[in-house]
Amino acid sequence: MDSIFTIPNQLTLLRMVLVPVFVTLLIYQLWVPALVVFALASVTDALDGYLARRLNQKSALGAVIDPLADKVMMVSSYVVLSDLGLIPPWLTVMVVSRDVLLVGGVVFLKLFSSADIRIEPIVAGKLTTFFQILTVFFTLASKIAGSKTKGFMWMLYACTAFMTCLSGYLYLKRGWEHLNGAGKNNQG
């Protein structure tokens, strides 16, 4: 079933629609509504994959728009929160660079490789998304509470940075293997 009207695809599209709402709330520093919208978007992220498997509604469209929605939400969150001085710019550079490299790598492989490229998440990628979401969530929560949790936040930044680099490396390694495997298959 490759319909846009599946429940998982609708949840993913909702997450995409929530991005400009979330960014606007951040820009106007409406922290509580921003946190609510971000939490709702995060729930749709978890729910769409679960429902796709549970309802047997996995689709080629969902395989493309789900990670795209994740990347748009994360990049937007980090860029705006960094601009507002709430997330360190170096962490934003890491998050954005990883996503640009991954998207660029997929496009490169699709254009220059004859191998059948499947975009499948790895455990490190899922953990990266988890830590990136936690970072945004706790950044907003600490802003709302007015708490000074610098030690905790720096530990969270470090975990997010580590997982972002690790998953980026593992995805690039996988892409390189696809490229080398396709080259070997074409030579034989």
Q: What is the pTM of this model?
A: 0.87
Q: Is the pLDDT score of 138 beyond 50?
A: yes
pLDDT for the residue numbered 31: 97
| CA dihedral for 83, 99, 22, 145, sign (positive or negative) | negative
Q: What pLDDT, in 10s, does the model give residues 119-129?
A: 678 899 999 99
Q: What pLDDT, in 10s, does the model give residues 161-175?
A: 999 999 999 998 988
Q: What pLDDT, in 10s, does the model give residues 7-29?
A: 888 999 999 999 999 999 999 99
Domain boundaries, the chain: 7-187
CATH code: domain 7-187 is: 1.20.120.1760
pLDDT for the residue numbered 1: 45
Q: What pLDDT, in 10s, does the model give residues 76-134?
A: 999 999 999 999 999 999 999 999 998 888 888 778 776 666 667 889 999 999 999 99
Q: What pLDDT, in 10s, does the model give residues 52-81?
A: 888 888 877 787 888 889 999 999 999 999
Local confidence band at 187 (pLDDT 50, 70, 90 cut-offs):
very low
Residue 91: left (phi > 0), alpha (psi -120 to 50), or beta?
alpha
Q: Are 38 and 137 in contact (CB under 8 A)?
A: yes
Local confidence band at 3 (pLDDT 50, 70, 90 cut-offs):
low
Local confidence band at 184 (pLDDT 50, 70, 90 cut-offs):
low
Arithmetic mean of pLDDT over the chain: 88
